[in-house]
Amino acid sequence: MPVEIRVPALGESIVEATVSKWLKQTGDPVTAGEALLELETDKVNLEVPAEQSGVLGAILKAEGETVQIGDMLGVIDEVGAGTHSRGRGSTTVQPAMSTQPAVDNGQPLATTPHSAPVSMSPASGANNPEEVFATPVAQRVAAEHNIDIRGIQGSGPGGRITKEDVLRHGKQGTARTQPATTVAERSIAAPQPVSPAAAPSRPEYPLRPPEGASVPTLVSAATPTRREERVRMSRRRQTIARRLVEAQQQAAMLTTFNEIDMSAVMAVRQRRKDAFMQRHGIGLGFMSFFARATVGALKAFPLLNAEIQGDELVIKHYYDLGIAVGTDEGLVVPVVRDADRKSFAQIEREIADLARRARDNTLTLTDLQGGTFTITNGGIYGSLMSTPILNTPQVGILGMHKIEERPLAINGAVVIRPMMYVALSYDHRIVDGSEAVRFLVRIKELVEDPEVLLLEG
């Protein structure tokens, strides 16, 4: 029995998606649980699996179309059943009459002026001359080009007629009906001499043309063309663009900066990295230090871990840190939950797993929901200093940057230290400037003294 492929529930607050890519084509065999297509939502991409084994009988939503929850995407037929054409049951298709010659790749297709209606049945086979076994695309192409497909030999699975069969049949018909071009018709006529009396007169321009006169502009044939490319924005990129504009329009966003001496943290990493790797199976990075320092600063300044809901402040006493990850399709912010309860190794392992799944496009909606504060690291791309934008409705985001050796005056002497600029963007509606500055200073103190970080962070 045929099974309809429908758009599943997409998650909280998501009601529509875009058909990103079909992983199977009409006529392909499928097995239960196998991914059929990929849907692109505002936050993640979802694969739609097959509910039963069989043959993909029809594709009803093309790539790039917007679909709603519950919309019918296609049909899976049982093995041996025919292809559906946008519905169930037998459908009669009357080919459209066209006054213009059909063209494929610059070549006209042969048409049948008076084709009879062709009966399409989902259970039809090649043994019945009144019925055909064709894909929906082949039926549509035949109808558009007014081609009788009852005499076409199918090359698809089970003898199914494909789009290529229809186009090939049309070209063969054109070759039989189109007369050969003679050599005389292909030859280019030699230019005939023009008599002086018939030659157009050349306008005589003075050194300076009269006022208002148009002067022809000569364009060199060697002038390079200026290429342009128009690419549809992905649904995720559209969402990112909308949310960034909303953040700047709705929040009173300000940024404060500071710098951190990374000498102590780098010394700890140098001493402990091998033992840490052997014990936990993961490298000891900078992000775990900053995650723990951020939790310590949020405990000291809780308004940075809040959000505005109407005329109320919601101050959160749990610490779900969003970690910004750059992917080919744009920035995503998966969440490390209860960061205050996790060890360095657990934080490093979870961040590595979230980053890998973000780049493999296998994050779930749960991974992206509910963060209370965000950390972003532009230093991995070489950024020395930047102003991060709030991830609303959060009211704070910490920006890390590139570590660079710089001269520093300490106790009257100039020394070279590995320094990092850090930035805190905050919503000035609920966070005062002094509080934001002290928050960033607290992070600086914790990172520059890892012992304090371990004891108090």
432 is a catalytic site residue: yes
CA–CA distance, 457 with 455 (Å, rounded to integer): 6
Of 28, 274, 338, 428, which one is the catalytic site residue?
428
CA–CA distance, 239 with 44 (Å, rounded to integer): 11
Pick the closest to residue 392 from 250, 290, 295, 256 (CA basis): 250
User: What's the per-residue H, E or C state across the chain?
Assistant: CCEEEECCCCCCCCCEEEEEEECCCCCCEECCCCEEEEEECCCCEEEEECCCCEEEEEECCCCCCEEECCCEEEEEECCCCCCCCCCCCCEEECCCCCCCCCEECCEECCCCCCCCCEEECCCCCCCCCCEECECHHHHHHHHHHCCCHHHCCCCCHHHCECHHHHHHHHHHHHHHHCCCCCHHHHCCCCCCCCCCCCCCCCCCCCCCCCCCCCCCCCCCCCCCCCCCCCCCCCHHHHHHHHHHHHHHHHCCEEEEEEEEECHHHHHHHHHHHHHHHHHHCCCCCHHHHHHHHHHHHHHHCHHHHEEEECCEEEECCCCCEEECEEECCEEECCEECCHHHCCHHHHHHHHHHHHHHHHCCCCCHHHHCCCCEEEEEHHHHCCCCCCCCCCCCCCEEEEECCEEEEEEEECCEEEEEEEEEEEEEEECCCCCHHHHHHHHHHHHHHHHCHHHHHHHC
Q: Is the alpha carbon torsion for 395, 285, 320, 382 positive or negative?
A: positive
Asked if 389 contacts 397 with a C-beta cutoff of 8 angstroms, the reply is: yes
Give helix 136-145 / helix 163-177 axis angle, nearest 10°: 30
Report the chain's terminal Cα–Cα distance, integer Å: 61
Of 145, 311, 432, 449, which one is the catalytic site residue?
432
Positions marked catalytic? 428, 432
